[in-house]
Amino acid sequence: MSYTEKSIDEIRASLDKGEVTSEELFEEAREKALKYQSDYNAFVTILDKKEEEKNKKTILSGIPYALKDNISTKGILTTASSNILKDYVPVYDATVYRKLKEAGAVLVGKNVLDELAMGGIGTTGHTGVVRNPWDKNRLIGGSSAGSAAAVALGIVPFAIGSDTGDSVRKPASFGGIVGFKPTYGRISRYGLFAFASSLDHIAILTRNVKDAAYVTNIVKGQDEYDMTSLPDDGKEYAKVLDNSVKGKKLFYIKEVCNLENYKNNNDLELIETLQKFHQTLDKVRELGIEVDEVSIDRKLLSALYPAYMTISCAEATSNNANLIGIHFGLRGEGKTVDEMMFDARTKGFSELIKRRFVLGSFILQKENQERLFLNAGRIRRMIVDKINELFKTYDGFIMPTSGGIAPKFDEEIDRLSERYLILEYHLVIGNFGGFPSITIPNGFVNEMPIGINITGRVMEDDIVLSIAHQIESKLGFKNQIAKGAK
Amino acid sequence: MITKEMLKDYANKLMFDMKEEEYETLQKEFDVILRQMDLIGEFEGIKDVEPMTFPYVIYHAKFREDVVKDEISTEEALMNAKDVKDNQVRVPKVVE
């Protein structure tokens, strides 16, 4: 096994014993990134040279990692996987990158994402489609597609992504790895290219829960450049993972998870995914965790996806108004400044992104603001209030991350089906309420990975991590490397 | 009913255009989108709910002092602009 396929603890031990140097680790990660690039397209940029290490005393010093290409890195190309930013080189560092640099972590490259992080499939980046390392004919999910592929392939032990609806937790599930989105504000968003500011989170991809705890420990904390960032809670997450979870209470949503709902459904992957979910619940109960079935209004659940699309597209429309190609980005042609901006945006955005912007524009038309935009905000409050009410009794909820395995690239999806509207989009609850939320692997269906998700109360990142860590220990799917890694 | 002309107007308001066939695809997509959007308004008493704009109430909002701290040089500020003259970004004449 190569070093970059190991856990952070194992790599740390080898570094400390002098069995390997950070230079050798960087070279190993870099060579792998280059080797897998033509098959999986995980990277926009692979660095030629290791950055200078600033600190040699943290758990992450000398450890290689990758950053999603919508996180600002001074002097290193940062494209957000969009043509409009294909030559953009930032002049400042994102806080998350600065903290990792200061901790001595070693950046290997910048990962492909869905253009401007606005997509969930990993196929819309300007440098091409990201493929699933378990099966090249399938997508890995997005928007943190390249980040998930890089971790699943064992190129790096961790990667930093962003999660606005499920953009870290869904690709983690499709890639057989761990995706952790901490409480909103736990990690500063300064330097993350905004998609939908009220939903955006920096989030972490690893191959086991303890590694996610280590990385979160390093990058969390209040930041004077992000007024929404939270004061450090002072907890060392990796040290509390084994705290007792006996007596904790979780629920799952009946309308999503109960097999009775799918009696007439002939989607065998969906049925097997849910059966495995329920088998896992038995193991969760063996830990002394109580798990109950709870009912939530189906109509409210069906409104999650449209409410998410409404809020995110409207916020994105506003956030991306700065992409005009004058002071940075793709330069347009024209006789006036307006014509130049119009040309830059017409040429710089792909069709899929334009569709989302048009939707945002439609939602923000005066005649639609009350019916769509404000009602979506009301739906958001209704579901968050409902979950917070349940959190008076329960410490969190546990759900299948998706209704199945990663789809094939050409798979047709019925976007009005309950599977699409509820099973594939319940993770947005975590963004609506800012709840800490983690995906861990839950085995395989048709030789493709599936995941489960645990979401807890705001500020209780430590509890969510310790529940996930102990379930992970029961399941035996940690530290998985995808089949595509040779 | 959403027409192609309406979609073009929404796109142009955001300062971009699409190809004719792209508007046609989008128009078909809007059939599904509008049906999804209908799911938002179907709740009794929804008007009494205060729209939520942030995940939770933030008690610790951090404001920094309004003093100059980190600065970037003129060269850095202009390094991503494609057309620069005399330390300024050059654009077409506004007044002829």
CATH number of A134's domain = 3.90.1300.10
Nearest chain A Cα distance for residue B32, angstroms: 7
Share of chain A above pLDDT 90, in %: 92
pLDDT for position A423: 84
Residue position matching structure tokens 């595509």: A484
Mutation for testing the B interface, residue in A330, A378, A387, A431 having most B CBs under 10 Å: A378
pLDDT for position A416: 67
What mean pLDDT is predicted for residues A164-193?
98
Active site residue A68: yes
pLDDT for position A50: 93
3-state helix, strand, coil in chain B (%, to 5): 40, 5, 55
Cα–Cα dist A158/A190, whole Å: 20
Answer yes or no: is pLDDT of A211 > 90. yes
Q: How far is CA A225 from the centre of its chain?
A: 22
What mean pLDDT is predicted for residues A202-220?
98
pLDDT for position B57: 84
Domain that holds residue A377: 1-486
Least CA distance to B25: which residue of chain A? A355
Range with the lowest mean pLDDT among A6-10, A245-249, B34-38, B78-82? B34-38
Number of CB pairs, chain A paired with chain B, less than 8 A apart: 174
**Residue A216: which of A168, A250, A258, A254 has the closest Cα?**
A168
pLDDT for position A265: 84
Mutation for testing the B interface, residue in A87, A356, A358 having most B CBs under 10 Å: A358
pLDDT for position A421: 75
pLDDT band for A324, please (50, 70, 90 cuts): very high
Phi-psi region of A417 (alpha: psi -120 to 50; beta: other; left: phi over 0): beta
Q: Which position has the higher pLDDT, B34 or A339?
A: A339
Catalytic one of A167, A229, A402, A437: A167
What mean pLDDT is predicted for residues B64-85?
92
pLDDT for position A385: 97
What mean pLDDT is predicted for residues B1-5?
92
pLDDT band for A79, please (50, 70, 90 cuts): very high
Catalytic one of A143, A173, A229, A312: A143
Pairing of strands A249-253, A396-400: parallel
pLDDT for position B95: 80
Cα–Cα dist A38/A468, whole Å: 34
The overall longest dimension of chain B from CA atoms, in Å, is 61
pLDDT for position A410: 86
- Residue A382: which of B26, B49, B54 has the nearest Cβ? B49
Answer yes or no: is pLDDT of B60 > 70. no
pLDDT for position A61: 96
pLDDT for position A97: 98
Q: What is the pLDDT of residues A389-419, one digit of tens each?
A: 999 999 999 999 999 999 999 887 777 677 7
What mean pLDDT is predicted for residues A13-27?
97
Nearest chain A Cα distance for residue B50, angstroms: 6
The interface predicted TM-score (ipTM) is: 0.94
Answer yes or no: is pLDDT of A55 > 90. no
Active site residue A72: no
Q: What is the pLDDT of residues A134-176, one digit of tens each?
A: 999 999 999 999 999 999 999 999 999 999 999 999 999 999 9
pLDDT band for A119, please (50, 70, 90 cuts): confident
Please, are residues A344 and A329 in contact by the beta-carbon 8 Å criterion?
yes
How many structural domains are present in chain A?
1
Residue A66 pairs in a beta bridge with: A109, A159
Share of chain A above pLDDT 70, in %: 99
pLDDT for position A394: 98
Active site residue A167: yes
pLDDT for position A52: 83
What mean pLDDT is predicted for residues A364-369?
93
Residue A19 pairs in a beta bridge with: none
Q: What is the pLDDT of residues A29-49, one digit of tens each?
A: 999 999 999 999 999 999 999
Q: Cis (ω within 30 of 0) for the bond into A229?
A: no
Judged by DSSP in three states, B50 sits in coil
Please, are residues A10 and A20 in contact by the beta-carbon 8 Å criterion?
no
pLDDT for position A156: 98
Please, are residues A175 and A154 in contact by the beta-carbon 8 Å criterion?
no
CA distances (Å), origin A317, targets A108, A133, A321, A359: 32, 33, 6, 9
Residue position matching structure tokens 């609806």: A165
Q: What is the pLDDT of residues B9-53, one digit of tens each?
A: 999 999 999 999 999 999 998 888 888 888 888 788 999 999 999
pLDDT for position A130: 98
From chain B, the residues in CB contact with A222 under 8 A are: 60, 62
pTM attached to this predicted model: 0.97
